[in-house]
Amino acid sequence: MDVNWLLVLLLAGFALAPLTYPGFVQAWQGFAPAYALQDLRAGHPLGFWGVAWPPHAGAEGPLPHLLSAAWVALGASPVAAVRWTWAVGLLLGALGAYAWLRERWGAMPALLGAVAYTYTPYHLNALYARGVVGEALALGLFPWLGWAAARPGWKGLLALALGLGALVLTVPGLAFLAAWPLAALVALQGRGRERGWAWGMLLLGALAGAGSAWTLARAGETVPFHALLAVREPLANPWALGLIPVAAWFGGGAAWLAPAMEPQRREVGLWLGTSVLGALAAALWPGGLLPSWTPLSLTAWAVPPLVGAAAAAWPALTRPEVAAGALALVVLAAQPTLKPPFTRLDPGPAPLAVWQEPGGGRLALLQQEVG
């Protein structure tokens, strides 16, 4: 048995620790994920799709809310169910990154890449700063999409189709953006008819993601680029974890130039380009598909393959003592950021309505029906 699987779970456990604290994370979303789950369970006049599909639930599709509903059916409270869904997303991402990179670069580069992905600031920002359940689950799906796209044969195509469908049901607009690096990866791996089927499937996924999310408008949003380097607000915590994406970008760039990486040079270049695509899409996206910050998840997705490529290009980085030191530093650097503020307030039932004064910043909640 490959003990690195257990190491991935063990090291990811430190990132999950805040989800075991009493109360609920005081994130940007507040109790909105729990309220969306309450709406889903109570039944909505528009039916299931009216409750859990954009724009009613922001940019999220129904899958994360369905998963949370399953936890409630097993006896969890809505708040606990949201925490468990966050945990599933984080563990899916860690295990998926290891499975994906292990076949491409070997066990030790895969371990380094999986832990780097788990603790990359944008990944933790989705849970402990923004509190978004859909994007947290999407970040768990991304590595499995890379794993499927890199596998030859119809089994890989089937896994890719299922994964892309799950992404459409999780964050529809992200499926539109993710389809392009996936199509490029399939083009690097596939042959003949297999490549044609994959391109057609990815095009359908892109159209499905775009068509299902087009109603979400962007209006003067500020892009939190600091989330690439810091888990919470720039002045609220240390930037030590920001060294992970920086090391991935520079290490991946150096690996792209390394003569030893000639057979995989185009693949490394693809992930460097994906990292740039995520940042540019966040800055320049005209609106209509996604909140302005969500394309940054593509930049986070590029971290594990770039770390794996750098470790494969320089085998000294995979020596046990060097790798152990790097992993320990990552976990230790994360500790100050794994103390998000919590509230023990019981959210109660979802408010009937939220209203904002035109041109003002005050919010008013209606707690009961009128008339």
What single letter denotes the amino acid at residue 277?
L
- What pLDDT does residue 88 have? 96
Let me know if residue 303 belongs to a domain: yes
Q: Please check whether residue 51 lies inside any domain of the structure.
A: yes
One-character DSSP codes across 259-285: GGGGGGHHHHHHHHHHHHHHHHHHHH-
Average pLDDT value over all residues in the chain:
78
Residue 222: band (very low, low, confident or very high) from pLDDT cuts 50, 70, 90? low
Distance (Å, whole) CA 122 – CA 28: 14
| 73-87 average pLDDT score | 89
Summarize the confidence of residues 54-79 as an average pLDDT: 76
Range of the domain at 178: 4-366
Q: What does the DSSP assignment read for 16-54?
A: HGGGGSSSEE--TTTTHHHHHHHHHHH--TT-HHHHSST
Is 209 a member of any domain? yes
Instruction: For the chain, give the longest Cα–Cα distance.
Output: 74
Q: Is the model's pLDDT at 356 over the cut of 80? A: no
Counted domains in the chain: 1
Considering only 140-144, 279-283, 343-347, which range has the smallest mean pLDDT? 343-347
- Least confident span in 163-167, 252-256, 267-271, 333-337: 333-337
Which among 275, 186, 262 has a CA at the least distance from the CA of 228? 275
Task: Tell me the per-residue pLDDT of 279-292, one tens digit each, with 9 for 90 and over.
Answer: 887 777 655 556 66
- CA distances to 36, 47, 84, 165, 355 from 40, rounded to whole Å, are 6, 9, 17, 21, 21
pLDDT attached to residue 277? 82
Q: Given this model, what pLDDT does residue 179 score? A: 83
More confidently predicted of 270 and 141: 141
Any domain includes 316: yes
Distance CA 212, CA 116 (A): 32
Answer yes or no: is 371 within a domain: no
276 or 60, higher pLDDT: 276
pLDDT of 256 = 87
Is the residue at 240 inside a domain?
Answer: yes
pLDDT of residue 69 exceeding 90, the answer is no
Contact 117, 141 (CB under 8 A): no
Distance CA 212, CA 11 (A): 36
Distance CA 52, CA 37 (A): 9
Predicted pLDDT of residue 33:
80
- Within-domain flag for 146: yes
Separation CA 221–CA 216 (nearest Å): 12
More confident site: 152 or 120: 120
Percent of the chain with pLDDT over 90: 25
- 14-60 pLDDT, tens digit per residue, is 999 988 888 788 777 777 787 777 766 555 444 444 444 444 444 67
Residue 100 forms part of a structural domain: yes
- Integer Cα distance of 82 and 85 in angstroms: 5
Indicate if the pLDDT at residue 204 is higher than 60: no
The position carrying tokens 């499937």 is 201
Name the residue with higher pLDDT: 220 or 301: 301
Q: At what angle do helices 303-313 and 78-105 cross, to 10 degrees?
A: 30
What pTM, to 2 d.p., does this model score?
0.84
Question: Any alpha helices (H) in 290-367, and if so which ranges?
Answer: 296-301, 303-313, 320-334
Q: How many CA atoms lie within 13 A of 231 on its CB side?
A: 24
Residue 247 clears pLDDT 50, i.e. is over it: yes
Q: What are the start-end ranges of the H helices in the chain?
A: 4-16, 32-42, 48-51, 63-73, 78-105, 107-119, 121-128, 133-149, 153-168, 172-189, 192-213, 243-257, 265-284, 296-301, 303-313, 320-334
